[in-house]
Structure 1
Amino acid sequence: MDVTQTAEQPEKPEQPETPEEELVLRELTDDGVLVLTLNRPGRHNSWAYDMEGRYYTLLDEATADPEVRAIVLTGAGGTFCPGMDLAILRRSSSDPTFKRPQRRPQTTARTVPKPIIAAIDGACAGIGFVQALMADLRFTTARSKWTPSFSRRGLSSEDAVSWLLPRLVGAGSAADLLMSSRVVRGDEAVRLGLAQRLLEPDELLPAALEWATDVARNVSPWAAAQIKQQLAADQTATLEQARLRSNEILVEARKRADYAEGVRSFQERRAPQFEGLPKDHPRIDLGENAP
């Protein structure tokens, strides 16, 4: 059965509509892990423009908040996101007066200079699939159902997925998934490289929080941001360009207080005390201007 049909999304929105501030829930732990939960009751977290706006606003706030060290993205109610809301799909495909709002790039999460881990349970389809790929890594469950779904809606690959997916799963598997839009269960998602870890449903969020908490407590936020930028820039670099760039960053790293603190904490066998990223730290550059 198509993951984006019938049980995954009710035909009509339930009333009352969810207030905007509740469309994506926000919780910051004492360790600096920000948990963002997609939350559209009665719609199984299907994507809508107001939820998208709320999500990106929270990512902007997280980028500018030195207290946020890592981000966990998940969905409420045992599912992640089954794709764009059917009401929006119906109107956009049949109503000639329908106008989409001005939107930010779906790659926005990739520009956040902090690690993002997605905890994927249940449906992960369409734009939900896109947003899962925009995280830095993904944990999932055996019962999860992944599909890009584009080709079964008469659409081409969206939002740079055709660039990113081959780098995660290889060219052949990317062609398979994008052309067929078949449903992939969680165990296959891990085998392919879509996700990094397979967990029981009740272990999923705790495992994602454990990974994020370890990063928040023990990893230099500046170093994590540089590595995220390197991973983005080096996708289109030669081996020598990547080597030279890494050497330039290392020169800067060895001058910073985080390096001294990292060595000192290792010598003293204690947890490091790294400073958070400043509010004005640049976002990850995904384009031609990447360092």
Structure 2
Amino acid sequence: MPHYEDLTYEVKGRVALLTLDRPDKLNAWTAAMEKSLKQALAAAVADDNVRVIVVTGAGRGFCAGADMGLLQSIKADNWEERELAQAAREEEVDFASGLGPDVSPHYGGRFGYLMQVKKPIIAAINGPAAGLGLVVALYADMRFAGSDAKFTTAFAQRGLIAEHGISWLLPRLVGPAHALDLLLSARKVTADEAERMGLVNKVFEQVNFMGAVMDYARALAETVSPRSMGVMKAQVWKSLFQDFNEALAVGDSEMQKSFATADFKEGVAHFVEKRKANFTGR
């Protein structure tokens, strides 16, 4: 098993669990963590046994944002040479899956590759998620929060702006008014308020938070077609750049392709035979 700096990687059944691992710093983001996340996601994609990916934080926090030491070292005249920017460029991985429409032209930057990962990514927000930590969570396909979790964009309180695509992602989740509230005020938001505005899918009680998230992840991994999940993920992220007729045409085309797959045959067979599904992803 490879070593990942500032991150741990383990596979539990068919679920890959990636844990940001600087608990003494509330998992503040580092260049090493950024490299490790991309490497670990590549390992999860390459492992046919893995069908769902969960990203969480060690200790009592999800991610407190960029490490303050890295922020203090930034100079205006060479900001593109900062350590975090270099980390993003150094780790090149091709996440193209061939499942569903190609989303790569639409999602660039440091974290857009998460949309290309063919397996569903769940952000398990176990505690504070601030600044860059919140941004990373928004790139996941779904977000679950522990009841003690707190959220803040933080940027305006640092003299910064809406970074790394959050100005596009956040309004599509919560609407422009909520997005502007969260961005301009940088106020702290509780898990319950985050759920009400659509920032997270669901809040689970802190005492059994990871158990509840893993139960959901296992249900995806064990009861539905991994091929279907990969195609549908691409369809949804692509649809944000399509009109209705374009999305409809893609759906019709992908439906026809699905009829020729082993997973379609198994999907019908296990229902008719009243037994547990045995999807292969083919």
1:50-88 C-alpha deviation (Å, 9 max, x unpaired): 011011100111112211100111111121000011111
Question: After the TM superposition, which residues 15-164 of structure 1 pair with which residues of structure 2 at under 5 Å, given as runs?
Answer: 21-30=4-13, 32-92=14-74, 99-100=82-83, 101-104=86-89, 105-164=110-169
Match of 2:154, as an amino acid?
S
The 10-residue stretch of structure 1 (79-88 or 197-206) with the greater mean CA deviation from structure 2? 197-206
On the 8 A contact 1:118/1:208 being kept in 2, the answer is no
Contact 1:45 1:79 in 2 (8 A): yes
Contact 2:35/2:87, CA 8 A, preserved across alignment: no
CA distance 1:259–1:172, shift in 2 (3 Å): same
Deviations 1:206-247 (A, max 9, x none): 111011100000111111000000011101211111111100
TM-score norm. by structure 2 comes to 0.86
Tell me, what secondary structure is at the counterpart of 1:138? strand
User: 3-state DSSP class of the match of 2:111?
Assistant: coil
- The correspondence for 1:246, drawn from 239, 251, 254, is 251
Amino acid at match of 2:219: D
Whether contact under 8 Å (1:141, 1:187) holds in the other structure is: no
Which residue, out of 167, 190, 197, partners 1:185? 190
**Among 203, 217, 221, which residue is 1:212 paired with?**
217
1:188-217: CA deviations, max 9, x gaps? 000010111112212211111011100000
Offset at 1:96?
A: 6.8
Runs of 4 or more above 6 Å deviation: 94-98
Unaligned regions of 5+ residues in structure 1, if any?
1-18, 278-291
Please say if 1:176 is aligned against 2:159.
no
Q: Distance in 1 between matches of 2:275 and 2:172?
A: 37
Percent identity between matched residues is: 39
What is the TM-score when the length of structure 1 is the normalising length? 0.84
3-state DSSP of counterpart to 1:103: helix
SS at 2:49's partner residue? coil
Report how many residues are paired: 258
Inter-partner Cα distance in structure 2 for 1:141 and 1:208: 9
Gap runs ≥5 in structure 2: 90-109
Check 1:96–1:233 CA distance in 2 against 1; reply closer, same or farther (3 A cut): closer
The corresponding residue for 1:287 is none
Report the Cα distance in structure 2 between the residues aligned to 1:42 and 1:102, rounded to whole angstroms.
22
Change (3 A) 1:267 1:42: same
AA matched with 1:103: A
Q: Is the CA contact 2:145–2:204 (under 8 Å) kept in the aligned structure 1?
A: yes
Residues 157-191 of structure 1: CA distance to partner in whole angstroms, max 9, x if unpaired? 11111111111101111111112221111110000
Kept in 2, the 8 Å contact 1:123–1:145? The answer is: yes
Q: For 1:59 and 1:215, how far apart are their aligned partners in 2?
A: 18
Query: CA-atom RMSD, angstroms?
Result: 1.9
Which of 205, 230, 238 is the equivalent residue of 1:233? 238
Q: State the shift of 1:42 in Å.
A: 2.0
Partner SS for 1:266: helix
Q: Aligned equivalents of 2:3 and 2:47: distance in 1?
A: 21
Aligned with 1:205: secondary structure? helix
State whether residues 266 and 278 of structure 2, in contact with CA within 8 Å, keep that contact through their aligned partners in structure 1: yes
**Cα–Cα, structure 1 residues 191 and 217, in superposed 2: closer, same or farther, change >3 Å?**
same
